[in-house]
Structure 1
């Protein structure tokens, strides 16, 4: 009898492969033998020992079961809604830590928590492409149809093949070597149904710790206030000789959940939901005059942006920090 190894995802813990453990478990226990420390590579011995409760050098079934049911450091619940009719989609969810702390995703699809002592940023992105329902809603078709005959020839289709990543034969249902708007729309809808079921998790360190240090509100832009405070914040991390050591910068672990085709920007016909707050979100409760003066859209009005006299600015600046916030000006 041929035994085939089943493909099981690699466990996220460092230097431990759960696929190997499961495969060895099937083999050994099928033959009436338990798992032993010698069955594991040297780098995994510490993980083995942590669950070898009686320290006899053997994993019995109870010990292995206890390992597979170990408490989670983090529970992430996500909800994606609104894509059935191509409406404005929403990403919602919550994160529960091992200590019972619960936080909900913000309007930007981001929540920040700590796993043990490691700061983590969790992002949820809906990258399922929204496809037009009719040709009238699909203006780029005219650009693709270079001879304007209402269909795409093989040559025309090959130029835009990466939109669907499908061969022409999979789109051209009547096999006439021409792709009509209806055929292309049908293929796009099939693609949308498939990508809706895909959820990708990417885990890695923050690739721009320097930027994250300065961008205190994590809106992917530096406000005037943040630029003014940059020198003070960087002083905390300077090394010998007044230099800034990268190793001294705080490191954040980023977990990014993406529904759809995470690595296929050409298939993304609209911007994904949950990347960053829009400028309008920051101005939603601000008076009209405040919004007009806030030219850079950072949610604050500096003295440089203010058009009135300094005495009026100082009167509005209730906390004396040199910036006007919407809360300070809402009733003015």
Structure 2
């Protein structure tokens, strides 16, 4: 008898029930959907409120669906009840490691809490898992190693630490020399061509380790009802530079010069009117901190998240339309927003997580084929990893521990001691769906890096059009109008990725030896998005998929290129191609 079908059916049934929801759920939507995060910029913090929805439901409701999926998969006999015996700590800890990539384990005796009836309810499982794989997690990504980036160094020809108009005017020629693959695009790796992908992966992992150990993280979640003491101390550690006759020596308070928040908010928090904020006054400020921006994020409620319309991740500004002084917002795409708060830039990208299931299936298929030593189509005996996580693991992939360790009983639904590829794929699909119910905000502190600010489409490449806009964007940072842009004048930059969860233990999350992906795969650049705008000939000629056709890419005569290039910027975009093609058809001519 197989229990694979009951496991899936139970999860789906519970999901449908949750989707309907009681009438009172709507009243709780606002609070459940809101998350407050603080970005610690160089001069001041930026407070961002996120309201995250999955369709018309708060995202926390989607998280409960993921807990139901885990509950159903641990329920080996499919009777809808999870006994303490079925809630095996080894399997549950392995599922957590698969989700987080870490070595988090659960203590015995913390599942069946109330009532102690020998059965672990969905609520009990949710409370046990909330601290480790909760609905919303804030983490630190890569950190800037240097104050500026390689692009700044390449443009600063005289190495005086500033960019002049003369240097910027020569940017096209400067960057053309860096185009090593001759595709009219400048990638981050081409700026530092002597770094191999493996070396870059190691450097990235080192930065991630540094992020976990850094004394003052660049982003912190501000949780209602949780003591603000830790955040107040972080603010002091970040901004307290000392004042008066002992500059450089922290005095345990923040002056307006050190903490450049709104003057009215500063004065309101300064209870004793001494012109500085102590720890307790900072806590008072945090209790009523003005939100710099209120964003609503809407994710697709279905499993695919693909297509147009409701399937796309979207962001929009909430409120009455008014922005705080010094705040600017640029909508780059449905799920991409660039926010400027003073001299701080937040580039926010919302990832629907469309590829999570596909990636998990591909990695598990690779894992299965590597473990199936006798090629008989299933794993058994020594081909299986040890069920006891403390026992020596027998199956390794690329010299690393198999992510299947501790999960054989969960995957082998019919209990015949054999793992077939179909069972593994069903398990991958269930866990990928569970991962979609978790949300992860990753903030990467880029420092005063130019490349990330100019790369508006976040494909880690600078297109010809992005290079053309470089001069205007960089010169706009010249705050003192002296014709030179120094490192101090470059906006401080955070890259923020808000994404549905993924099976981090499969794709290089570190910890527990669970990474089965080669460094080259981890560092692979994202594939260019398929072009959908413009006529067919335009999409075929745009060989580097940057949304423009250059003179080199255009296959027709130069006179035809000049006719289509209406704004005479040396590039034909989709709109110009459509307009030119229409005019040509009316005149019985074509490109």
Distance in 2, matches of 1:66 and 1:235, equals 36
Residue pairs, 1:18-57, within 5 angstroms: 21=228, 43=252, 52=269, 54-55=271-272
Structure 2 vs 1, CA of residues 51 and 199 (structure 1 numbering), >3 Å: closer, same or farther?
farther
Tell me the number of residue pairs that the alignment of Structure 1 and Structure 2 aligns: 292
Aligned partner of 2:293 in structure 1 is: 74
TM-align CA RMSD: 5.0
After superposition, what is the alpha-carbon deviation per residue over 1:151-207, rounded to whole angstroms, capped at 9, x for unaligned? 223535533665567543543456654323454345334423432222122223236
Instruction: Choose which of 413, 424, 445 in structure 2 pairs with 1:184.
Output: 424
Deviation of 1:259 after TM superposition, in Å, equals: 1.5
Match of 1:94 among 303, 316, 325: 316
Inter-CA distance 262–93: structure 2 relative to 1 (3 Å threshold):
farther
Change (3 A) 1:265 1:92: farther
SS at match of 1:203: strand
Q: Which residue of 1 aligns with 2:374?
A: 147
* Aligned residue runs from structure 1 range 155-170, under 5 A: 155=383, 157=385, 158-159=395-396, 167-170=407-410
Aligned residue number for residue 435 of structure 2:
195
Structure 1: segments with no counterpart, 5+ residues: 1-8, 24-40
The separation in 2 between residues aligned to 1:166 and 1:263, in whole angstroms, is: 17
Distance 1:90 1:247 in 2: 37
Counterpart CA distance in 2 for 1:296 and 1:53 is 56
Over 3 Å counting, the alpha-carbon distance change for 1:255 and 1:162 in structure 2 is: farther
1:255 aligns with 2:496: yes
- Aligned counterpart in structure 2 of residue 125 of structure 1, from 344, 351, 355: 351
8 Å contact kept, 2:455–2:466: yes
The partner residue of 2:341 within 98, 115, 119 is: 115
- TM-score normalised per structure 2: 0.39
Cα contact 1:172–1:178 (8 A) shared by 2: yes
Match of residue 293, structure 1, among 533, 538, 541: 541
Q: What is the CA deviation profile of residues 286-313 of structure 1, one whole-angstrom value per residue up to 9, with x for unaligned ones?
A: 1222223322222222222223333332
Q: What's 1:323 paired with?
A: 571
Range with bigger deviation, 216-225 or 111-120:
216-225
Contact 1:163/1:266, CA 8 A, preserved across alignment? no
1:233 and 1:72 map into 2 onto residues whose CA distance is 27
User: Which consecutive unaligned segments of at least 5 residues does structure 2 have?
Assistant: 1-35, 46-215, 231-249, 260-264, 386-394, 479-483, 510-515, 585-591
Pair 296,192 (structure 1): closer, same or farther in 2 beyond 3 Å = closer
Counterpart CA distance in 2 for 1:78 and 1:142 is: 39
Q: TM-score with structure 1 length normalisation?
A: 0.63
Contact 1:261 1:267 in 2 (8 A): no
- Residues 73 and 232 of structure 1: CA distance in aligned 2, closer, same or farther (over 3 Å): closer
Deviations 1:257-285 (A, max 9, x none): 1210385562899x9xxx9794433xx23
Relative to structure 1, the CA distance from residue 85 to residue 114 in structure 2 (aligned partners, 3 Å threshold; closer, same or farther) is closer
1:309 maps to 2:557: yes
Deviation at 1:221, TM superposition (A): 2.2
